Amino acid sequence: EELVTMLYRYAGSPAMNVPELALIGGYPDSAHVSAWAQDAFAWALSRGIIEGRDGKLAAGSPVTRAEAATILARFHILSK
């Protein structure tokens, strides 16, 4: 949650519309995403920055070094 939220805020906290916010609901653990991170997760999912882990968002789980590298690389590529 923290990593995705930091990137979302760095990107200027773009406004999310209803279809983007609905992306979170497609994951079985969507209720575990903290309220303060929901816009950030919707943004990251809609931009392809995150895709989930084993079909889940895994919002409360630590990010591995490989996952962090992938997320940062995707953010960098998509922010050009």
Please state, in angstroms and rounded to a whole number, the distance separating the CA atoms of residues 28 and 6. Answer: 24
Q: Residue 42 burial (CB < 10 Å; 0-12/13-18/19+)?
A: buried
Q: Give residue 33's pLDDT.
A: 94
- What lies within 8 Å, CB to CB, of 11 at 6+ separation is 43, 75, 79
Q: How many other CB atoms are there within 10 angstroms of residue 57's CB atom? A: 26
Low-confidence winner among 14-18, 25-29, 64-68, 75-79 (lowest mean pLDDT):
14-18
Please state, in angstroms and rounded to a whole number, the distance separating the CA atoms of residues 6 and 29. Answer: 21
Tokens 């995705």 — which residue?
4
pLDDT in tens, 6-61: 999 999 999 888 888 888 999 999 999 999 999 999 999 999 999 989 999 999 89
